[in-house]
Chains A and B, each alone.
Chain A
């Protein structure tokens, strides 16, 4: 079983629709929960992050974390064609190796979203 599971889609919606993207995870040591947006041939862009259960809103985007169910979601309201991209969930944990601590991100596989006019 993968530590982070994300439905790869693809997901195609009409402009203005509400989009729901989801990830489940199995590692209780994860501390931060993130959503990245990646356009073609670009690096992932950090959209939102949170470290506690509950909702966090930023404009049209809402990130939701449920630690008891090990489930996170990203909602996009009033979706636009410019939202068409791959969305990656990611979770971080602090690991120690040979006396060095570092933050390790574990990514979902990414969901390809297309918003058509």
Chain B
């Protein structure tokens, strides 16, 4: 158990819908990272937050957005969902730099 929690574990929804994925980092970790893992794309970095502020952006679509709250939990919002958004979404946290990250169990999103 990494100490990072993610909810929900599974999510099934329809195209065009909007969903919110939630992540609570390990106690004391200020950085939160979001990743998407699909079969044909591997692990793709989406976005990083540090102590409430956006720090780095990767291949995140405009339909996706995220934020980190004062209690350090983070939410990833996915809107106008498409079939291709079906994937595992991981959240990770780190105590310092990006070199050591602790991943949550992931949320499996299925878009029908």
Please indicate whether A and B come from the same complex rather than being unrelated chains: no
Residues of A within 8 A of B (CB): none
